[in-house]
Structure 1
Amino acid sequence: MSTTSITCTRLSFGWPDGSSVLTDLDLAVGPGRTGLIGLNGTGKSTLLKLIAGELTPLDGSVRVAGEIGYLPQNLTLDTTLRVDEALGIAAARAALHAIEAGDAAEEHFTAVGDDWDVEERARATLDQLGLTGIGLDRTIGEVSGGESVLLRLAALLLSRPDVLLLDEPTNNLDREARHRLYDAVTAWSGVLVVVSHDRELLRLVDQIADLRPDGVHWYGGNLDAYEEAVAAEQEAAARMVRVAEADMKRQKRELTESQSKLAKRVRYGNKMHANKREPKIIMNQRKRDAQVSAGKHRIMHEQRLEDAKERLDEAVEAVRDDAEIRVDLPFTAVPPGRQVLTMRGVGLRYGARAQLDLHGPERIALLGRNGAGKSTLLRTIAGQIPPEEGEVQTHVPVRSLPQRLDVLDDGLTIVENVARLAPEATNNRIRAQLARFLFKGARADQTVGTLSGGERFRATLAAVMLAEPAPQLLMLDEPTNNLDMASVRQLTAALASYEGALIVAGHDVPFLRDIGITRWLRLDEELTPVDPEEL
């Protein structure tokens, strides 16, 4: 009996505008937890939608053994739905209540089936996911965005699918909710495929499927094992590049030496012919032999050189392009001790209060549950909304990178967007700086509306960082949401070279550690210090 639960055969998909996403993809997934990773734009979310039946392939086939549960990345639930309707148990629950009230109609027994403990299972599942206080009769409009994601997951767990597909499930979840989801993933005993950039979540999987343009590359073990294997691959690939480069230099040298020797022979033959030291018939034969020999040598060495070039191209192709963003903006530097931000008795819309002094190039992590007001606090500091009370003073130029990345105009190119925020900068200066954000040459002329998620993030970060005046306080709101792991590495490198002050709101603790946070704060009813060792 086959243990394969998902089988994709020569699967192809493209959008109506002709852009191809997947081509002749073969995939076989068995029991266990599989982490599906890959660069933005490789088709991870599209692949999950094809497996879930949300999209129809252009070619090839998808076969799934058993029932599917699918949690999409961008979840929208009708806010008027009751919780029991969102959980998919409303009909069974209503029938159960009718029977308990004495109505013995056959349709009620049919609706309940064997699910007599449906309410108890629902409440147990909600408790498991930390949703104890949410009643089954409440509406979706009364819960937070993070809670609605967990409600959808609860609905999937209640339906007991054979195959569970999760697309970036921890996006917009606070720290506590993430841990609830981690527990649910750890306890899952069926087939699980999760698309995620969440390092902690990917440490819980049994294997990694790395989706690349040439297909899926499999790695046994969790994220740590995958990164070790890829590092070894890249080291070997780099060695192959060095070997191939040396071989090509040797082939070029041998071709040059061969051509030099043949040229000497030709000169010698011409000299003999001029002096007529041999019979004409012999000299003509020698000339023909020399020409044939020269042709063979040239072809042989040119073929060797071509083969060496191909080996070098293959070796270079095997090395991943992990180019780093470089932020070389001297005007962003903040001297130690310089006053950057002062907040006194600030009241926020959601009832929280904030008191804060920020000096020099401090790096603050802003933690807190969903709905605590972190985004509101950042917008208040940026001057986008006024505080309910109190005073906010920024003493340096401030820029903010919002969650929705709505800073840019989709109809303009990347260059044009940056020019809007830096009107005094020359086109050459803008292009030179954009190259540091990996938009070189024609890439800088792409229309923003055509960019992938990772590209859009880089373009937005570039526009914010290159704005005039240069930001000496940079604020980021959940910056790693929807970024692939390469983009997270690029962002980490960019922030490492940024010399201004930083406030980052988020739940991605590994990322926050990597960017050198100097002060950890939690926003609840007020701002309080947090020991990072307890996270």
Structure 2
Amino acid sequence: MSHSSPASSASAAPASIACTSLDYVWPDGTTVFDGLQVSFGPGRSGLVGVNGSGKSTLLKLIAGELRPSGGTVRVTGEIGYLPQNVTLDTALRVEDVLGIAGTRAALHAIEAGDVREEHFAAVGDDWDVEERATAALAGLGLGHVGLDRTTGELSGGESVLLRLAALLMRRPDILLLDEPTNNLDLYARRRLYAAVEAWNGVMVVVSHDRELLERVDQIADLRGGEVAWYGGGFSAYEEALAVEQEAAERMVRVAESDLRKQKRELSDAHVKLARRKRYGQKMWDNKREPKVVMGERKRQAQVSAGKHRIMHEEKLAEARERLDKAAEAVRDDDEIRVDLPHTAVPPGRSVLTLRELRLRHGARVDGEFELRGPERIALVGRNGAGKTTLLRTLAGELDAVSGTADVHVPLRFLPQRLDLLDDELTVVGNVARFAPEATPNEIRARLARFLFRGARAGQRAGTLSGGERFRATLAALMLAEPAPQLLLLDEPTNNLDLASVRQLTTALESYEGALIVASHDLRFLESVGVTRWLRLDGGLRDTTAEEVRAEMAGEG
């Protein structure tokens, strides 16, 4: 069992990652990998798979954040790793995150006339460190972020981009990105896409963002502890997968037909044997031949019948085996079934009223804004515009600086950071906090629809993957009483695989309450039937899907 560090000769050899006979078991005994074999070489690889298949775990094993239970991870070259949930100490300055604080301090000391040798040693050849840092930030749309600012002043999306800028400044040989577009606005996503396209080392990116996955060279599909490779981006992968599945389903139909045939032949054989047996018994009863001859004939008939029966039973068993093998190739991935409570809001019913609202960090709502009936509002805007601040204020988590925000119906808020769960409690225990009147059986029945069955429902929340955490949080909100007539969703598609996004979309289509969704995922917003688009950019103003799409395409 080992995780090898880059060798001293790494610069001479091309960068690569090789996982051999890799095992990983969570502390609670859950097996993630059992003998996984996978290698990544030059180029951009998109790592896909259903939630809980081990994508983030594999990146952590490669990055050395986790130790394998068995097998080896061999890495040639320096690694840069961007984790899924970027958390930065809010007191850190931008220069600290970029790793240039010491060099800058030495540079400024020399410029001020302090010519001690230690300062020159600290600077080395990096005299243009500030220019490089400013260029790296500007390249990712962070040109407005000064090197002396603290990270506490940055939004979630800006924090992600800052960490990425720090990685790119280091120029690692290998870049591991785990859901890098989470929390990024459309403008920032374009910057990230450009950085990905310009990358010429080894890259492994875990993402549910189709636009990003179109920009990779190959797709690695992690399923059942094994990796299957597909050339090209996500569309090519989907097409290849569709052809595979069509062939697999055809093989199942052929195998089912063969199984029916073998069952018929076995049945026919039983009828023939029974007929022969009756005829032999009749000859015996009539004693038409000498007893010894009839006995030998009966014995031969029994042997022949036995062989005949065994042959057909073997054929039937082989047909069943072929069917099982064919069925294994057909994907039947479980998908969450989100049953949102029946929460109809009559047209014209006042749901939310905002008056002269001033929020923290400068966002505002001028005049009066009212949400009536089952409206579906898409809340869009650049990172740092205050979308999360507005939602948290509406949910009662933050106080407004001035003005009023009145909610007239029961609401539920699904936060971006999914921090509603107590990591020390089980999934069942967490849901029970929100629904104290529900029985354990009722809770387990609801959790089964979110794919937490049996022992899964007894898992500690702290051991859940990003997608599993989302499902558990959503289950807790939907079981809570009173049922919500206004749903506030903050980047709900973060951490979800594409199948779960489809299920969430279907659930929201059937929801009859009012909805406010803050999201940078234009495809998702259009799929849930948004009736009104609002942009938060200092103030709150109406916009259109066309304007948002134009911004994404770089026209706005």
CA contact (8 A) 2:342 2:511 kept: no
**Structure 1 residue 326: Cα displacement:** 4.1
Amino acid at match of 2:189: R
Unaligned segments of structure 1, at least 5 residues: none
User: Kindly tell me: are residues 442 and 114 of structure 1, through their superposed partners in 2, closer, same or farther at Cα, counting changes over 3 Å?
Assistant: closer
**Which secondary structure state, in structure 2, belongs to the residue aligned with residue 493 of structure 1?**
helix
Does 2:497 match 1:497? Answer: no
The equivalences for 1:232-381 within 5 A come to 232-327=243-338, 331-354=342-365, 355-381=368-394
1:197 is matched with 208
Does 2:48 match 1:42? Answer: no
CA distance in 2, matches of 1:457, 1:381: 21
CA contact (8 A) 1:325 1:493 kept: no
User: Kindly tell me: are residues 208 and 116 of structure 1, through their superposed partners in 2, closer, same or farther at Cα, counting changes over 3 Å?
Assistant: same
User: Kindly tell me: are residues 2 and 469 of structure 1, through their superposed partners in 2, closer, same or farther at Cα, counting changes over 3 Å?
Assistant: same
**Structure 1 residue 201: Cα displacement:** 1.6
Higher mean C-alpha deviation, range 47-56 or range 263-272: 47-56
CA contact (8 A) 1:324 1:493 kept: no
1:156 is matched with 167
The TM-score with structure 2 as length reference comes to 0.86
Q: CA RMSD in A?
A: 3.0
User: Kindly tell me: are residues 51 and 443 of structure 1, through their superposed partners in 2, closer, same or farther at Cα, counting changes over 3 Å?
Assistant: closer
**Structure 1 residue 316: Cα displacement:** 2.2
CA distance in 1, matches of 2:272, 2:50: 51
CA contact (8 A) 2:93 2:147 kept: yes
- The one-character-per-residue Cα deviations of 1:471-509 (angstroms, maximum 9, x if unpaired) are 332221211222223322322232233333322112222
2:4 is matched with none
Higher mean C-alpha deviation, range 213-222 or range 397-406: 397-406
CA distance in 1, matches of 2:494, 2:209: 9
1:514 is matched with 527
**Structure 1 residue 221: Cα displacement:** 1.0
**Structure 1 residue 524: Cα displacement:** 2.4
**Which secondary structure state, in structure 2, belongs to the residue aligned with residue 332 of structure 1?**
coil
1:170 is matched with 181
| Aligned residue pair count | 535
1:79 is matched with 90
Give 1:221's match in structure 2, choosing from 224, 232, 246. Answer: 232
**Structure 1 residue 220: Cα displacement:** 1.0
Amino acid at match of 1:497: S
Amino acid at match of 2:68: P
1:62 is matched with 73
**Which secondary structure state, in structure 2, belongs to the residue aligned with residue 181 of structure 1?**
helix
Higher mean C-alpha deviation, range 438-447 or range 248-257: 438-447
Does 2:514 match 1:487? Answer: no
**Structure 1 residue 386: Cα displacement:** 5.2
- The one-character-per-residue Cα deviations of 1:370-401 (angstroms, maximum 9, x if unpaired) are 34332332233344555444444444443222
CA distance in 1, matches of 2:311, 2:468: 45
The equivalences for 1:351-500 within 5 A come to 351-354=362-365, 355-385=368-398, 387-408=400-421, 421=434, 434-439=447-452, 451-500=464-513
- The one-character-per-residue Cα deviations of 1:68-111 (angstroms, maximum 9, x if unpaired) are 22222233333343322321223333333444445554444433
**Which secondary structure state, in structure 2, belongs to the residue aligned with residue 331 of structure 1?**
coil
Does 2:104 match 1:90? Answer: no
1:32 is matched with 43
CA distance in 1, matches of 2:516, 2:543: 15
**Which secondary structure state, in structure 2, belongs to the residue aligned with residue 35 of structure 1?**
strand
CA distance in 2, matches of 1:279, 1:442: 69
Give 1:116's match in structure 2, choosing from 97, 108, 127. Answer: 127
**Which secondary structure state, in structure 2, belongs to the residue aligned with residue 272 of structure 1?**
helix
User: Kindly tell me: are residues 245 and 206 of structure 1, through their superposed partners in 2, closer, same or farther at Cα, counting changes over 3 Å?
Assistant: same
- The one-character-per-residue Cα deviations of 1:38-64 (angstroms, maximum 9, x if unpaired) are 222222222222222333333332333
User: Kindly tell me: are residues 102 and 373 of structure 1, through their superposed partners in 2, closer, same or farther at Cα, counting changes over 3 Å?
Assistant: closer
1:529 is matched with 542
User: Kindly tell me: are residues 450 and 312 of structure 1, through their superposed partners in 2, closer, same or farther at Cα, counting changes over 3 Å?
Assistant: farther
Unaligned segments of structure 2, at least 5 residues: 1-11, 549-556
CA contact (8 A) 1:361 1:501 kept: yes
Amino acid at match of 1:349: R
CA distance in 1, matches of 2:420, 2:112: 57
Higher mean C-alpha deviation, range 84-93 or range 404-413: 404-413
Amino acid at match of 1:381: L
- The one-character-per-residue Cα deviations of 1:92-145 (angstroms, maximum 9, x if unpaired) are 333334444455544444333332322221111111112222222333334333
Amino acid at match of 1:207: Q
**Structure 1 residue 218: Cα displacement:** 0.9
User: Kindly tell me: are residues 215 and 393 of structure 1, through their superposed partners in 2, closer, same or farther at Cα, counting changes over 3 Å?
Assistant: same
Amino acid at match of 2:31: S
CA distance in 1, matches of 2:443, 2:59: 39
User: Kindly tell me: are residues 427 and 20 of structure 1, through their superposed partners in 2, closer, same or farther at Cα, counting changes over 3 Å?
Assistant: closer
Amino acid at match of 2:171: R
CA distance in 1, matches of 2:171, 2:519: 32
- The one-character-per-residue Cα deviations of 1:148-202 (angstroms, maximum 9, x if unpaired) are 3222211211111121111222222333322222222122222221111222221
CA contact (8 A) 1:240 1:315 kept: yes
**Which secondary structure state, in structure 2, belongs to the residue aligned with residue 273 of structure 1?**
helix
CA contact (8 A) 2:335 2:500 kept: no
CA contact (8 A) 2:52 2:468 kept: no
CA distance in 2, matches of 1:386, 1:124: 37
